Structure 1
Amino acid sequence: MRLGLIGSTGHWHSYAPALDRIPGLELVAVAAAGPEESTGAFDHAPGLTVETRRYDDARRMLDAERLDLVQVCGRSDRIPVWTRLCLERGLSVMAEKPLAMNLTTLEDLFNTARATGASLVPMHTMRGVPELASVHRVVHAGAIGDPLLSFSQKSYKWGRSRPAFWRSRDTFPGIAPWAGIHAFDWLHWILGDVFTEVSGHEGTAAHPDVPACASQAAFLLSMRNGGVATVTLDYLRPESAPTHGDERLRIAGTLGVVDLALADRKVTLTTGQEPPRALSPDPQVDLFTRFARSLRGESPPPLTLHEACRITEIALKAQLAADTHQTITLTDSPYRSP
């Protein structure tokens, strides 16, 4: 399989584990996603060889190379542009999240992928976290009954600075589609497509010089069964904390509660029949390997096109809810699974 890379921003090393797991996978070409990048960033790219060709213009790479799949990891506003160009050529794509900066562009990508038959999978890499997989397992096994209430937290250190493109909504999508999309993804994965509306609030008090990204935000999602899911996002984690991130998940149902503290690698299940007990993690294959195997016909894709666009839609509408101070419906969607 001939792999091309567009962009060296974000989680662009995600393809690396697949080099050892997919026979014949080779990195044949790399390209900058825009003038803010340099092909020098690929100097130590996993799988790079003297035969790997470099392009300053990704369009030239797409025109010149015979590729089987492409990974797109550029600045947020560049992702849908390069993704669409790949899909139009019938090339399957794994793209950094979010897939699009707005709902119109998302629908265009959805229609393009359907028309060409090329696979499109977003980089929702937390589906490879073993502890989240164990939560998925017990909820789907009915251990907590009907889920009625959940709390998801994603808290991160801000660091010394953030890239310049974070300062404008023209180049940065907001905290919900950026950091929050992983939480919306794990809720969709674990609970299903059960959300009917979303409201949200955010502020930039801690980092007012970067107005496009909230320093703190909270979202409330209503569920079809009368339950609610809350998601909090922040860049307020102290620099002295032992880990960069503090991600948590609690789901309460009619028969029990499951709690995850990812920084501690700890999952606990409590039910009416037994006291709290630790759950063992469920080892997972990385997302890119699963994507590549699906292209070889060896397994289903890690996310379907409908799932990928539905989760992105929820994240974009959550951001819209915070921006407009309105409750946004989630029931009328072109991405619900057929």
Structure 2
Amino acid sequence: MPDPSPSARVAIVGAGGIAHAHAGALAELSDRASLVAVADTDRDRAETFARRFSVSGVYTSAEKLLAEERLDLVHICTPPHSHTPLAIAALRAGVPVLVEKPTALSLAELDELAAVQQATGTPVLTVFQHRFGPAAVRLRRLASSGALGRPLTAVCETLWYRTDAYFAVPWRGRWEVEGGGPTMGHGIHQFDLLLSVLGPWSEVTAVAGRLARPTDTEDVSMALARFQNGAMASVVNSLLAPRETSRLRFDFEHATVELEHLYGYREKHWRFTPAPGHEHLADLWRSDDADDVESGHLLQIAAVLDALRHGTEPAVSLAEARRTLEFAAATYASAFRRRPVAAGELADDDPFVRAMDGGAVPWPRVKEAA
């Protein structure tokens, strides 16, 4: 594995919209990293991106980029179906990888990636940036300390709005390219944060439907989840909500903690309510305004760079990402099989290991394969 210098050499593969968020974050971290190369199959897009972010190396293939550049980290910002093969290519080149969600299109793909990670000793990390906001870090610390009492119930809602035109992009709304609908591509950020607080889940009971959009995937899913610690949660992922919001609520024995935002949160988006007799907990929740940084790529990328430089394990690891991806797979399996799915149940040659749709989607296709 490369030994990152104080200024790590970083490349981005894929120059579309989300790559700009990565590049912007790296620009703010110029004391720790230099964005030295970009690759995109569309040369004009790659060159435009390179001019905007002052990138010297421009390539039309990840393979050529990996062969010619000395790198400490590569960011994968391409459509989901290419995440695993590109990550594997980087690992075999000895370069740590930060992959946009979802890490893989299926549990089988992710396990293939894990095998290459183990063989090469080079880490694969997933972008789950909402874990890194100061309030989320504080909540996990308080929850794990026992100060809030046992977690009892939780609500996780990603209620977003996407028009029919949004799905005109060829790779959107197709199981074989995107992996799923809002469960895989939108709500996954919120329920990953939920899982990071509540810990391992034990069972999922779900429904999913294509109610309004011209897509092969679902446009709504709803899940009820039980956790190993006894907590229960509801999880809703929708692209049909004209008033968009992202909402999380945790009810512990001694306090309720709530978050409502859209695509990124600050301290003002959180609300802490101690139970009667536990008013002192408000002092533990209170933060310094200096910590009020929006949850986003900047915080996670900074944490990744610091971990790589100091030789500690960076987040979010492949093992953690698998738990989140398995929750998505269980949501689909439960919805399409119409029964609860236990953690660990999806294994071996189960169709929902090989693909998120499990070959069991109960509605007809509407999108033609490209």
3-state secondary structure, aligned to 2:324: helix
- Residue 216 of structure 2 aligns with an amino acid whose one-letter code is P
Equivalent residue for 2:202? 196
Candidates 172, 177, 195, aligned match of 1:171? 177
Distance 1:232 1:198 in 2: 13
- The answer (yes or no) to whether the contact 2:32–2:305 under 8 Å persists in 1 is no
Q: Does 1:96 align with 2:100?
A: yes
Give 4+ residue runs of structure 1 displaced > 4 Å after superposition: 34-37, 274-285
Q: Does 1:127 align with 2:140?
A: no
Q: How many residues align?
A: 322
Candidates 304, 326, 329, aligned match of 2:317? 304
Candidates 186, 197, 200, aligned match of 2:193? 186
3-state secondary structure, aligned to 1:219: strand
Deviation at 1:277, TM superposition (A): 6.0
- Residue 235 of structure 1 aligns with an amino acid whose one-letter code is L
Equivalent residue for 1:328? 341
| Structure 1: unaligned runs, 5 residues or longer | none
- The answer (yes or no) to whether the contact 1:101–1:316 under 8 Å persists in 2 is no
TM-score, normalised to structure 1, is: 0.85
- Residue 190 of structure 2 aligns with an amino acid whose one-letter code is A
3-state secondary structure, aligned to 1:78: helix
- The answer (yes or no) to whether the contact 1:155–1:246 under 8 Å persists in 2 is yes
- The answer (yes or no) to whether the contact 2:76–2:86 under 8 Å persists in 1 is yes
Deviation at 1:164, TM superposition (A): 2.2
Q: Note closer, same or farther for the CA distance 1:167–1:201 as it changes in structure 2 (3 Å cut).
A: same
Equivalent residue for 1:21? 29
**Coordinate RMSD, CA, aligned:** 2.7
Distance 2:212 2:43 in 1: 27
Equivalent residue for 1:250? 249
Deviation at 1:229, TM superposition (A): 1.5
Q: Note closer, same or farther for the CA distance 1:43–1:90 as it changes in structure 2 (3 Å cut).
A: closer
Q: Note closer, same or farther for the CA distance 1:70–1:123 as it changes in structure 2 (3 Å cut).
A: same
3-state secondary structure, aligned to 1:166: coil
| Structure 2: unaligned runs, 5 residues or longer | 1-7, 263-267, 348-370
Alpha-carbon deviations, 1:195-222, whole Å to 9, x = none? Answer: 1122221112121x1222x222111111
Q: Note closer, same or farther for the CA distance 1:35–1:247 as it changes in structure 2 (3 Å cut).
A: same
Deviation at 1:22, TM superposition (A): 5.3
Deviation at 1:272, TM superposition (A): 2.8
Equivalent residue for 1:76? 80
Distance 1:22 1:328 in 2: 46
Q: Note closer, same or farther for the CA distance 1:36–1:327 as it changes in structure 2 (3 Å cut).
A: farther
